[in-house]
Amino acid sequence: MPSSGARAFRRAYPTRSESLRALVDVVAKVVEHNAGLLIIGESGSGKDHLAELVHACGPRRGASFVRIDCASIPPELFESELFGYEKGAFTDARTRKIGKLDLAQKGTLYLDGVAGLANTLQAKLLRVIQEKQFSRLGGNYMLDLDARIISSASESPELLVNRGQLRSDLYYRLNVVSVELPPLRERKDDIPMLAEEFLGERGTALGRKFEGFDPEAMDLMLAYSWPGNVRELRNVVDRAALLEEGTTVSPNSLPHERFLQPSDFLQSANERAWSLEELEKQYIREVLRRTGSNYSASATILGINRKTLLEKRRKYDLG
């Protein structure tokens, strides 16, 4: 019989997609245990949300969920963020600082984008996970670590190891159980359900009640490739809720240039009376989207060199 944590996780993580059901089955089996979990998935696919749900449905849900964005913390600050420090450990250490490891005691430590750490820092992290002990910077005694470790990577860990971005010994330590989140383009059966959920949340925040999406608007969303995954879908729905004047989201409230089909491109440009500059901007945006922001491939399609494409990207603020 499934545990209460497994049942809670299945309720909190519904899916209509066949490609995601296998992941749900695996996570439901381990959610009540303290086994390490490695979540693999593209940017925006929902790794943070999954990690938070595993914590919320697991045996440590009464304690803290502590997230470390490994790629965003400067290397020179990472150790003080992770371990904390004692007063006097260095010139500016005027008081004791509690680190992330301390904060995660009895709870969950989530290492987001672990391959973003420098190799030397990965080695120190490995030692903590192996020995389940750490000391604050400037400290003279060891503290026991009692936390579940969940980590994430945006690419195949095997590729990261082969490229030297992830230590193989750290990978094997983190990879007790691993799951791979499929991108949204491979789980389109979930788009209507997710879009309705996001619309309801945004409507509540705005003090409005929406009835859903116009069929044509939903068709546009189902036809789109969603390179930004679930995060992009949420942003599109938030934008639509802000712009929509009625109770049903219509195609006009969607970012039309993003969902534009190739056969409709010139027609839309004509209807909107785009200038040549706007036409160039939108076409470059479309080519970049369809190549997954591969600038060399996009430059070839556009018939310009890569440097010129980068200059135009900056000119039009295409990100």
Are 103 and 55 in contact by the 8 Å Cβ rule? The answer is no
Work out the pLDDT band at 268, boundaries 50, 70, 90: low
Question: How much is the pLDDT for 113?
Answer: 94
Question: How much is the pLDDT for 1?
Answer: 55
Question: How much is the pLDDT for 134?
Answer: 93
Which range has the top average pLDDT, 75-84, 166-175, 280-289? 166-175
d(CA 281, CA 266): 13
Question: How much is the pLDDT for 276?
Answer: 87
* Two tokens, residue 95: 């008081």
Does residue 73 carry a pLDDT above 70?
A: yes
**Letter for the amino acid at 46?**
G
Percent of the chain with pLDDT strictly greater than 70: 94
Question: How much is the pLDDT for 26?
Answer: 95
Taking residues 276-301, what's their average pLDDT? Answer: 79
d(CA 215, CA 213): 6
Q: Which residues does residue 84 pair with via DSSP β-bridges, in sequence order?
A: 98
Q: Are strands 133-134 and 143-144 parallel, antiparallel or unpaired?
A: antiparallel
Are 96 and 86 in contact by the 8 Å Cβ rule? The answer is yes
* Two tokens, residue 295: 């600038």
Does residue 120 carry a pLDDT above 80?
A: yes
**Letter for the amino acid at 278?**
E
Does residue 224 carry a pLDDT above 80?
A: yes
Taking residues 260-273, what's their average pLDDT? Answer: 65
Taking residues 34-45, what's their average pLDDT? Answer: 94
Of 211-215, 243-247, 267-271, give the lowest mean pLDDT range.
267-271
Work out the pLDDT band at 123, boundaries 50, 70, 90: very high
* Per-residue DSSP letter, 177: E
Question: How much is the pLDDT for 280?
Answer: 87
Taking residues 46-71, what's their average pLDDT? Answer: 95
Does residue 59 carry a pLDDT above 60?
A: yes
Sign of the Cα pseudo-torsion (192, 196, 202, 208, in order): positive
* Per-residue DSSP letter, 183: P
Percent of the chain with pLDDT strictly greater than 90: 62
Taking residues 289-317, what's their average pLDDT? Answer: 81
d(CA 206, CA 195): 16
Work out the pLDDT band at 270, boundaries 50, 70, 90: confident
Work out the pLDDT band at 7, boundaries 50, 70, 90: very high
Q: CB neighbours of 226 closer than 8 A, spacing ≥ 6?
A: 183, 184, 185, 191, 232, 233
Of 49-53, 199-203, 280-284, give the lowest mean pLDDT range.
280-284
* Two tokens, residue 159: 């590729």
Work out the pLDDT band at 242, boundaries 50, 70, 90: very high
The helix (run of H) or strand (run of E) holding residue 169 is: helix 168-174
Does residue 301 carry a pLDDT above 80?
A: no
Does residue 177 carry a pLDDT above 90?
A: yes
**Letter for the amino acid at 147?**
A
Taking residues 268-295, what's their average pLDDT? Answer: 79
Does residue 199 carry a pLDDT above 90?
A: yes
